[in-house]
Amino acid sequence: MTDTELRVSKIENGTVIDHITGGQALNVLTILGIDGTSGEEVSVGMNVPSERLGRKDIVKIEERELSQNEVDVLSLIAPNATINIVRAFEVVEKNDVTRPETVRGILSCPNANCITTKNEPVESRFDVLDDGVRCTYCEMIVRESIASHINSA
């Protein structure tokens, strides 16, 4: 995209999550725990034209790098996303997301009797299947609307 077409300003330092599947930007924000109340500086583009995807969403966050757990869950809802690390206005690192074998934290198990949903401090863990995820502890499978199982969603 050329500068004349730029819709959301460039950022100085932080992370640009580009090529997000159209419609998934708000779910990406939820995965990152961003709800606007903590003062984070965030720009969001939704359904912007993309040569590669037709339409894409884009999220730019100042002063933030993502954890591996966050990137892993993000890959489930935005498999084509590119994570760009920006320092002093330059992209210094660019990584495609890859589908991991397991994801930890962030998603919660829908089974009320699962050890991870009790009060015990057991971090959630899911094995990634071709068409969903399966709780490592109770084996409950989540196939649809993974986004609705994001903690605090």
Contact positions vs ligand CTP (CB under 6 A)? 1, 10-11, 16, 18, 58, 60, 82, 84, 86, 89, 91, 94
Stretch that binds Zn ion, among 1-9, 46-54, 84-92, 133-141 (CB under 5 A): 133-141
The torsion angle over the Cα atoms of residues 57, 61, 66 and 69, rounded to 10 degrees, is: -50
Residues between 68 and 127 that touch Zn ion (CB under 5 A): 109, 111, 114
Burial class (CB in 10 A: 0-12, 13-18, 19+), 119: exposed
Least CB distance to ligand CTP at residue 127 (A): 30
Least CB distance to ligand CTP at residue 68 (A): 20
Instruction: With H, G, I as helix, E, B as strand and everything else as coil, classify residue 30.
Output: helix
Sheet of strand 102-104, all strands in order from the earlier edge strand to the far edge: 102-104, 125-129, 132-135, 141-142
Query: Which of ligand CTP, Zn ion, none does residue 31 bind to, with CB < 5 to 8 Å depending on kind?
Result: none
Query: Do 103 and 147 form a contact (C-beta atoms < 8 A)?
Result: no
Which position's Cβ is nearest ligand CTP? 10
The binding site for Zn ion (CB under 5 A) comprises 109, 111, 114, 135, 137-138, 140
